[in-house]
A and B are shown apart, each in its own frame.
Chain A
Amino acid sequence: MSTQARTQARTREPAVRPRGPRPTRGYRVFQVVNAVVLTGVVVVTLYPFFTIVARSLSDNAYIVAGEVNLVPRGFNLTAYRVVTSDPTFWVSYRNTVFYTVVATLISVVLTTCYAYVLSKRHLRGRTALVGIAVFTMFFTGGLIPNYVLVTSLGLKNTVWAIALPNAINVFNLLVMKAFFESLPVELEEAAAVDGLNTYGTLLRIVLPLSKAMVATMVLFYAVSFWNSWFAAFLYMDRQELLPVTVYLRNLMAGATDATQTGGGLGSAGDVVQSAATIQSVTIVLTILPILAVYPFIQRYFVSGIMLGAVKG
């Protein structure tokens, strides 16, 4: 009975280990120190967010005077009004949504197909197919050949320049492959007996069982495309095509109309000059969607990563 209870307790919460009857004094001191350290970690992680929010709500004059820390000074929403009334900001926001949707769709479809193929242990040439993917984790063509390729394919100033070169993330691929391998083989064999071909099995049997996995993949890709900036920075030279990340980058570099300081070529001085409130507001508005969904998506990421770790 007691043995059974202990086994149960261990499977439910393996992190709590039966380590001894009485904690020593040293251990209790450690617990206190530990709590302090971890509180420090939380404070250090969150501090920048609160400062940026405070700055976004403050009067620029107080910021320049170095008087805004965690509490807004000269509270006003002017900067929010300036940023949200700038059509370029909304165009770039819409671009980000569009690029994210298109790129994520392509990525998830390609990753699912390849992961499914790789998960079939009996497949002739499977090792080679895995190798082709894994090798690219360690050796890449590099920036310049990629740039030449994308440019000569004529992908500049199109969504394809963002979506295609990064369509499959090998880490995600391996996570998904591990998941497919963990599905019971018997189900697919039964489907084959009932006359479903490979496509049918994938669509009607495997995918419905993999909803959680596919959702996780959608999240992984969507967040990375939402956050990406470099491809757009490299391959898009028209203002109305830029995603919000590049918009923010240009703002930082002082190369956007939204800053009252006017143009500049992104050198050292301009960074300091462009109005601090405007920058802070843009940062806040760009983070907001991530923060809004963060509590809901976070645990999917964690379980996805763990799956990759245990099986990969």
Chain B
Amino acid sequence: MRARVCFRFGPRPMLASALLLAAALAGCSERRAPAGTDGADPERGRRLLAQFQCGSCHVIPGVEAARGTAGPPLATFGRQSYVAGTLPNDPPALARWLVDPPAVKPGTAMPALGVSPDDARHMAAYLATLR
């Protein structure tokens, strides 16, 4: 099977696609810290998002079993302009929201979960990488 594919398409396109794939993978591994998240650790944020059960309301790429539908999916959160339709989406504002959502938007369904400001900084840093 494999030999036949090589015969039909020749080695050159295969080499080209391998190079393309390598380039794409290199691009993926390079996850730069977004602006405004100095000193925050996105990886720690990812673990905190799992620990605080954010996935019971949100679909969050990279967070295990995050398949909730009660809140918006966060797959492209880093590209979003506003948080909860009110706050401009920059990491410090997002951290404020994560600590106490009802204080920012009283009618929201998102509960205050006892997230500390420091935890929120790491979580915001991870969410900002979702582009």
> Is B one of A's binding partners?
no
